[in-house]
């Protein structure tokens, strides 16, 4: 697994700032528009979690919770985090589980490992392992 870089964490922090501002805007006015803002506050967490991964989503949730605690109160931040932000982060994590491992920074040699386990004699020779991996690619795609 790749370590998150500073750019990913900053993008997550920006999404957390956006989510916190949406929740704060929703709490400042009693109208129909406030319900729309509060509902939309989960969107930045979902988008950053799907686009940049779990580290960015965690960064966004922590940033939004910290801003809510500083600007309003710790109890407001706790409720906001438990009701809106954590479920959004968890949903983005669950959606990321359905993505290929190579896309999320996981091992792209997973198919070679599978073919080495299925054909142990072929894994001793590098050329044969590549051909078996190519066969496994076609089997998995079919």
Higher pLDDT, 101 or 30: 30
Asked if 116 and 135 count as a contact pair (C-beta separation under 8 A), the reply is no
State pLDDT tens for residues 68-121: 999 999 999 999 999 999 999 999 999 988 877 666 555 555 555 555 556 555
pTM of the model: 0.68
Q: Which pair of tokens denotes residue 64?
A: 């939004």
Distance between CA atoms of residues 114 and 87, nearest Å: 34
The rounded percent of the chain whose pLDDT value lies above 70 is 68
Q: What is the mean pLDDT of the chain?
A: 79
- Does pLDDT of 3 surpass 80? no
Closest CA to 36 of 49, 19, 57, 22: 22
Residues in the chain: 142
């Amino acid at each position: 697994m790749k370590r998150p870089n500073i750019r990913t964490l900053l993008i997550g922090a920006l999404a957390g700032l956006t989510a916190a501002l949406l929740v704060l805007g929703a709490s400042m006015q009693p109208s129909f528009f406030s319900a729309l803002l509060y509902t939309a506050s989960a969107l930045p967490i979902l988008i950053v979690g799907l686009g940049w991964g779990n580290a960015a989503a965690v960064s966004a949730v922590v940033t939004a919770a910290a801003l809510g605690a500083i600007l309003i109160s710790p109890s407001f931040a706790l409720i906001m985090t438990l009701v809106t932000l954590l479920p959004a982060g968890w949903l983005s994590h669950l959606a990321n589980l359905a993505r290929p491992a190579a896309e999320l920074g996981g091992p792209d040699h997973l198919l070679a490992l599978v073919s080495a386990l299925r054909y142990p004699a072929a894994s001793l020779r590098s050329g044969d392992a590549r051909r078996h991996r190519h066969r496994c690619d076609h089997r998995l795609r079919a």
